[in-house]
């Protein structure tokens, strides 16, 4: 690996690779993307002509388009996603593994001639502000103009990225073809030792926009470990208090578990009157590294949002809704009679066409929009987007939050007692699966730090890497765990969520400042309801008990499962985490 060696011949290396790929894939044409408006206009015109995009209502949604995926290609495919390290144990039990030679062989036969009759696009991109030392570049070769249009929104794509690649002499190589969209000929392969990605047979989101999950999470996780930083599936938001001080918080929730919503939160009215303000740095990925002062500084490597449409409304997420009124690509949403995009939870209208393009009416029994339908939009369209998202040095993080979708057991919020405990809290995260990946929905699984599908190496080593940040001079953020999804006996959510999550954020920041109380328990420090501002929130007695209480017997059983989970990693699991699990299990047993 020569990723940070300066090399005058970096563009030669790129040209050479493009040539090799062209010889294999045999496209009719090669187009080097410069990211310009002219280029984008031409691509959009071409996609409108061949039906890849459908124009939406120009009056209500100017410059916005609908794309319908193949019905078998609507989510990430974790069972077809591989990490190909030379040593199987480096990928760990948390990844599917294939030997690099075998994977390359298999992919070579799939890519052979796959671009005949197609244009091959060469897409240089930068993950992170173009002038930030924390940013990293890549080049995606793809035969999908839809991917090009999305990459242009999601990354700093084009000429400036190419110039940085030339300057730096390093880039991640991503090769993508939609192939025939055949689920039986679909693979997402990662070669972290060579900084390479090969993706075949899907045109969807995380499978195909290689800058996102493949590069900025799986490949970058290796770079982060080697270079001493953290690469996370986290949103980043700024919270300005009435005194004008801003704290930044990073939060890891699994796919479709609330990152976009928390990142764009609008505080309840009382908070707004008092002067609280929220700003959005990022909604999905966070790269952070220790600064000279010992604090962790974070950037959002992305430039746009690929957000979940269902559930997005004027009530739940007004900032997201405002962002997607123009210049947006919608994927797999439904359409109203006047050609506006629509999804479940938006409003009371009934669409006339479902996500597959079939007629739809009120008697239908299936959702009109796909549950994993998405919008792609530039972060600049978001009213709460922070100017500090462009800061080259990143923003200092005061608190890290972990959270999952847990109908039972897990209270609204608790605080880890120290960094090691916090790492265990992250490692022990569980969450019910969602439509963001193919497979069953609503099944509880361990999803450590929301990175189960995204950590490109052995989780045991990843936890060890996290633990290594606790060293002399470090000024680490406090770590918390939240659960917005606790349900009551009747099956309803007990916590109002969305804007009201501000109340929980305020408690966290007070804890950071040493200004709020908490009750110490074996699982961590819980707020007493009096510690949290609940003005204007009506909670039933059941809600209070379940959101703020802790069920010792339930947690004792949870910790047994956590212990079993950690054991799956064998001797590689850091002693400190096993020790922490043993300590808490013991405390739970004595009351």
402 binds ligand GTP (CB under 6 A): no
375 binds ligand SPV (CB under 6 A): no
Nearest to 140 by CA among 39, 31, 41, 233: 31
3-class secondary structure, 307: strand
Among 67, 176, 190, 213, contact with ligand SPV (rule: CB under 6 A): 213
Q: Give kind and range of the element (H or E) at residue 527.
A: none
Residue 257 annotated to the active site: yes
Instruction: Give the Å distances, CA to CA, from 525 to 45, 75, 579, 591.
Output: 56, 37, 19, 15
Binders of ligand SPV: how many residues, by CB under 6 A?
9
> Rounded to the nearest 5°, which phi and psi values hold at 190?
-120, 130
Task: List the x/- string, 150-189, binding to ligand SPV by CB under 6 A.
Answer: ----------------------------------------
255 binds ligand GTP (CB under 6 A): yes
Among 27, 158, 307, 522, contact with ligand GTP (rule: CB under 6 A): 307
436 binds ligand GTP (CB under 6 A): yes
Among 151, 308, 427, 482, contact with ligand GTP (rule: CB under 6 A): 308
306 binds ligand SPV (CB under 6 A): yes
284 binds Mn ion (CB under 5 A): yes
The C-alpha atoms of residue 164 and residue 124 are separated, in whole angstroms, by 10
Q: Which of ligand SPV, ligand GTP, Mn ion, none is residue 213 near (CB under 5 to 8 Å by kind)?
A: ligand SPV
Walk across the sheet containing 54-55 and list its strands: 54-55, 65-67, 329-331, 374-378, 304-308
Among 152, 164, 212, 510, contact with ligand SPV (rule: CB under 6 A): 212
Q: Which stretch binds ligand GTP (CB under 6 A): 94-102, 251-259, 353-361, 470-478?
A: 251-259
78 binds ligand SPV (CB under 6 A): no
Instruction: Give the Å distances, CA to CA, from 536 to 87, 268, 416, 500, 532.
Output: 56, 9, 28, 10, 12
Query: CB-hemisphere CA count at 13 Å for 44?
Result: 20
* Residue closer to Mn ion (CB basis): 107 or 234: 234
The C-alpha atoms of residue 522 and residue 574 are separated, in whole angstroms, by 21
Q: Which of ligand GTP, Mn ion, ligand SPV, none is residue 265 near (CB under 5 to 8 Å by kind)?
A: none
> Rounded to the nearest 5°, which phi and psi values hold at 143?
-105, 15
260 binds ligand GTP (CB under 6 A): yes
Task: List the x/- string, 473-492, binding to ligand GTP by CB under 6 A.
Answer: -----------xx-------
Instruction: Give the Å distances, CA to CA, from 227 to 247, 395, 503.
Output: 26, 19, 36
User: Measured from the CB of residue 16, what is the shortest distance to Mn ion in angstroms?
Assistant: 33
Determine which one of 84, 126, 257, 382 is catalytic: 257
The C-alpha atoms of residue 484 and residue 384 are separated, in whole angstroms, by 22
Six token digits for residue 317:
């997420």
Site for ligand GTP in 274-293 (CB under 6 A): 283-284
78 binds Mn ion (CB under 5 A): no
> Rounded to the nearest 5°, which phi and psi values hold at 431?
-160, 150
User: Measured from the CB of residue 303, what is the shortest distance to Mn ion in angstroms?
Assistant: 15
The DSSP letter of residue 381 is G
> Rounded to the nearest 5°, which phi and psi values hold at 222?
-65, -45
259 binds ligand GTP (CB under 6 A): yes
* Residue closer to ligand SPV (CB basis): 298 or 436: 436
User: Measured from the CB of residue 205, what is the shortest distance to Mn ion in angstroms?
Assistant: 9
3-class secondary structure, 30: strand
Q: Which of ligand SPV, ligand GTP, Mn ion, none is residue 124 near (CB under 5 to 8 Å by kind)?
A: none
* Residue closer to ligand GTP (CB basis): 85 or 94: 94
The DSSP letter of residue 59 is T
* Residue closer to ligand SPV (CB basis): 212 or 478: 212
Q: What is the 3-state secondary structure (H, E, C) of 388-447?
A: HHHCCCCEEEEEEEEECCCCCCCCCEEECCCHHHHHHHHHCCEEECCCCECCCCCCEEEC
Among 138, 238, 258, 268, contact with ligand GTP (rule: CB under 6 A): 258
Q: Which of ligand SPV, ligand GTP, Mn ion, none is residue 357 near (CB under 5 to 8 Å by kind)?
A: none
Helices (H), 62-199: 88-91, 100-111, 145-154, 159-168
* Residue closer to ligand GTP (CB basis): 286 or 573: 286
Nearest to 405 by CA among 261, 560, 276: 261
Specify the residue for token string 């989101």.
Answer: 205
Q: Which stretch binds ligand GTP (CB under 6 A): 124-132, 224-232, 255-263, 517-525?
A: 255-263
76 binds ligand SPV (CB under 6 A): yes
Torsion-angle region of 179 (φ positive above 0: left; ψ -120 to 50: alpha; else: beta): left
Six token digits for residue 114:
């796959």
How do the residues of the chain divide into helix, strand and coil, expressed in percent and rounded to 5? 35, 20, 45
CB atoms under 10 Å from CB of 168, counted, come to 18
261 binds ligand GTP (CB under 6 A): yes
Among 57, 60, 316, 393, contact with ligand GTP (rule: CB under 6 A): 316
236 binds ligand GTP (CB under 6 A): no
Q: Which of ligand SPV, Mn ion, ligand GTP, none is residue 493 near (CB under 5 to 8 Å by kind)?
A: ligand GTP
Q: Which stretch binds ligand SPV (CB under 6 A): 107-115, 204-212, 316-324, 508-516?
A: 204-212
**Chain residues that interact with ligand SPV, rule: CB under 6 A:** 76, 205-206, 212-213, 255, 284, 306, 436
**Chain residues that interact with ligand GTP, rule: CB under 6 A:** 253, 255-261, 283-284, 307-308, 310-311, 316, 436, 484-485, 493, 497-498, 501
Catalytic residues: 257
**Chain residues that interact with Mn ion, rule: CB under 5 A:** 255, 284
């Amino acid at each position: 690996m020569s990723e940070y060696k300066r090399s005058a011949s970096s563009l030669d290396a790129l040209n050479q690779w493009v040539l090799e790929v062209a010889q294999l894939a045999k496209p009719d044409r090669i187009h080097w993307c410069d990211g310009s408006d002219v280029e984008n206009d031409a691509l959009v015109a071409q996609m409108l002509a061949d039906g890849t995009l459908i124009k939406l209502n120009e009056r209500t949604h100017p410059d916005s388009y609908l794309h319908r995926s193949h019905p078998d290609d609507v989510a990430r495919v974790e069972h077809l996603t591989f990490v190909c390290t030379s040593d199987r144990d480096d990928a760990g039990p948390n990844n599917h593994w294939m030997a690099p030679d075998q994977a390359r062989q298999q992919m070579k036969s799939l890519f052979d001639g796959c671009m005949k009759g197609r244009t091959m696009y060469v897409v240089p991109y930068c993950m992170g502000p173009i002038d930030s030392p924390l940013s990293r570049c890549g080049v995606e070769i793809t035969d999908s103009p839809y991917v090009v249009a999305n990459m242009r929104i999601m990354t700093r794509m084009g000429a400036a990225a190419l110039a940085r690649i030339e300057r730096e002499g390093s880039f991640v190589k991503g090769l993508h073809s939609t192939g025939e969209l055949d689920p039986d000929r679909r693979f997402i392969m990662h070669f972290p030792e060579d900084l390479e990605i090969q993706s075949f047979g899907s045109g969807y989101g995380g499978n195909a926009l290689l800058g996102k999950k493949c590069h900025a999470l799986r490949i970058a996780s290796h770079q982060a470990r080697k270079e001493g930083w953290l690469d996370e599936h986290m949103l980043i938001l700024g919270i300005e208090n009435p005194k004008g001080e801003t704290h930044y918080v990073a939060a890891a929730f699994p796919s479709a578990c609330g990152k976009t919503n928390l990142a764009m939160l609008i505080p309840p009215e009382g908070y707004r009157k008092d002067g609280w303000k929220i700003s959005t740095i990022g909604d999905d990925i966070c790269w952070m590294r220790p600064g000279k002062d010992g604090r962790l500084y974070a950037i959002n490597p992305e430039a746009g949002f690929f957000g979940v449409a269902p559930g997005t409304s004027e009530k739940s997420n007004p900032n997201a809704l405002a962002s997607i009124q123009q210049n947006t690509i919608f994927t797999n949403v439904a359409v109203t009679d006047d050609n506006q995009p629509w999804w479940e939870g938006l409003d009371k209208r009934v669409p006339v066409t479902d996500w597959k393009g079939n007629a739809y009416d009120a008697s239908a029994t299936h959702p009109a929009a796909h549950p994993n339908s998405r919008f792609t939009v530039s972060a600049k369209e978001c009213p709460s987007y922070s100017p500090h998202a462009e800061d080259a040095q990143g923003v200092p993080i005061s608190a890290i939050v972990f959270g999952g979708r847990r109908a039972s057991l897990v209270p609204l919020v608790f605080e880890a007692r120290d960094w090691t405990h916090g790492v265990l809290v992250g490692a022990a995260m569980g969450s019910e699966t969602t439509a963001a990946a193919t497979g069953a929905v609503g099944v509880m699984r361990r999803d450590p730090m929301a990175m189960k599908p995204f950590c490109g190496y052995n989780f045991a080593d990843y936890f060890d890497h996290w633990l290594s940040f606790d060293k002399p001079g470090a000024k680490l953020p406090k770590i918390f765990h939240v659960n917005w999804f606790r349900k009551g006996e009747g099956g309803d959510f007990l916590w109002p969520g969305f804007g009201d999550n501000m109340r929980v954020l305020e408690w966290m920041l007070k804890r950071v400042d040493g200004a709020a109380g908490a009750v110490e328990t074996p699982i961590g420090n819980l707020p007493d309801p009096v510690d949290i501002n609940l003005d204007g929130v009506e909670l039933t007695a059941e809600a209070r008990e379940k959101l703020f209480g802790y069920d010792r017997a339930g947690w004792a059983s949870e910790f047994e499962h956590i212990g079993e989970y950690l054991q799956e990693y064998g001797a590689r699991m850091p002693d400190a985490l096993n020790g922490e699990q043993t300590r808490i299990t013991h405390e739970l047993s004595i009351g």
